[in-house]
Amino acid sequence: MTDALSLVDDWGPEKIVVVTHRRTGMKGVLVIDNTARGMGKGGTRMSPTVTVDEVARLARVMTWKWASVDLFYGGAKAGIVADPASRDKEAILRAFARALSNEVPREYVMGLDMGLTESDAAIIQDELGDRGAAVGTPEHLGGVAYDKLGVTGYGVAEAADAAAQRQGLPLTGARVAIQGFGAVGSAAAQRFTQLGATVVAVSTAHGALHDPSGLDVEALLASREEHGDHFVTRHGPGTTLASGAELTVDCDVLVPAALQDVIDHATAHEIKAKLVVEGANLPTSPEAQGILAQRGITVLPDFVANAGGVVAAAFAMDARYSGFRPDTTAIFETISTRLRANAVTVLDEAERRDATPHAAGRALAEQRVRAAMKSKGRIARD
């Protein structure tokens, strides 16, 4: 069991709240990492394997992500230890929201992460009787439909394009392999195709599909819609591979857009891509980042590449109490502008510092957070 106090460092967490409810069996945790630049904002996930340590790591990623994209919210994350397929999901979710009514929405606003849907966000609002308690609600309730719009995946491809151009690797004709074909991976695949790239591999929990000459992304999307994830990688044109094999196929750009901790020491030695763009949170271990740097492979960090979701979330936060829906055109334009510029800024800083992009990007984010902490008297002023 994680000792919560062992997680505390110079940045946070500021608050760790563990909640339970005996009748529903609900167990959950909220980690508010650092609010120097604004109130805590980050997704809420539901999984049988959620841990305090996991949620704390993700809350810290949110601290750097908000600062990196220069939006004024703080890092936070929440997790519920439950199976999202459980028939008791709604009761568990309502118990979780009630247990955190002191913090939500005054200190933390719930959002969508693994295991939660737009309807779940609506349930949270309903349980607390406050439209401000959660974002990510369905469009018919005035929410920003992140998954339908594909904002995170769109941003991943935009950031990848900017990074590739900086490296002298035009995305037109570039071969892209994507781990994951969910909300992020599929939207990224669509945008990569629109930008002229060739998607050569995708994967789901049921396996991977690889075709060096290119996959028909729209056909795969239609197949998934009609038959489900299992059909995508087993019945389309191309070669079926074991899950994880898509990470090491021959390609120019690799996008891990599914799970964390998938690129480790061993995998880092096998990757053939010239550019790795982190669509998922924490997909590459620190050791692997160093190995890839030594091999001359650029890694665009998660808090830069997948920040399209937080840009959209910022629009949603502003619109929580509004009678008007956010302008989707403005959302996409802002995602493209901010993520493209930030990708180049971070890679330039990495070159200047002779450091990995993760280290350079984090240093830039730390400067912004530290400045806010000093201004508010949370740390000593120079």
DSSP category for residue 126: H
- Catalytic hit among 27, 41, 65, 77: 77
Is 319 in a helix, a strand, or coil? coil
The Cα 39–Cα 76 span in angstroms is 9
With CA atoms as reference, report the closest residue to 16 among 25, 288, 200, 2: 2
User: Is-contact 41 74, C-beta < 8 A?
Assistant: yes
Q: Is the dihedral of CA 343, 314, 34, 29 positive or negative?
A: negative
Any alpha helices (H) in the chain, and if so which ranges?
52-68, 89-99, 118-128, 146-149, 151-166, 183-194, 217-227, 229-235, 265-270, 286-294, 302-305, 308-318, 328-353, 357-375
User: Is-contact 50 2, C-beta < 8 A?
Assistant: no
Any catalytic annotation for residue 77?
yes
Residues that are catalytic: 77
